[in-house]
Amino acid sequence: MTRVKRGFVAKKRRKKILKLAKGFRGAHSKLFTAANQQTMKALRYAYFDRRKKKNEFRKIWIQRINVAARNNGIKYNKLINNLKISKVLLNKKILAKITISDNKTFNLITKI
């Protein structure tokens, strides 16, 4: 059986990792082993932080709605409950945009 040298495949894999590690500091962008470990860690953080970003945006939307609702004399949880009861199908993202851009519309929504 003939010997398989794997030179091209290994080099291609290492170049791919080093390309992903571009911009890391020191040996983390130059040496393959360090770059490989740091790249795996960075990809893991990226995965978790994509989910964390959604939670942070949700918190911001809730804060904006809460401030606008309290300016109209109603608490956030009462507002959301009243919207559900009256079957208004506006999500928190859209409500937050309305609070920023158009206060008159938000005032009408709170009166519902």
* Predicted confidence (pLDDT) per residue in 42-83, tens digit: 999 999 999 999 999 999 999 999 999 999 999 999 999 999
* Residue-number span of the structural domain to which 22 is assigned: 12-111
Q: Given pLDDT bands bounded at 50, 70 and 90, which one contains residue 99?
A: very high
Domain assignment present for 97: yes
3 domain residue, yes or no: no
- Residue 7 lies inside a defined structural domain of this protein: no
Domain tally for the chain?
Answer: 1
The reply to whether 4 falls in a domain is: no
Q: Answer whether 17's CB lies under 8 Å from 32's CB.
A: yes
Task: Tell whether 72 is covered by a domain.
Answer: yes
Domain assignment of residue 77, yes or no? yes
φ, ψ for residue 22 (rounded to 5)? -65, 130
DSSP state of 108: H
The helix/strand/coil state of 69 is helix
Which of 1, 7, 37, 3 is closest to 20 using CA atoms?
37
Residue 28 CB partners (closer than 8 Å, separation 6+): 21, 34, 35, 38
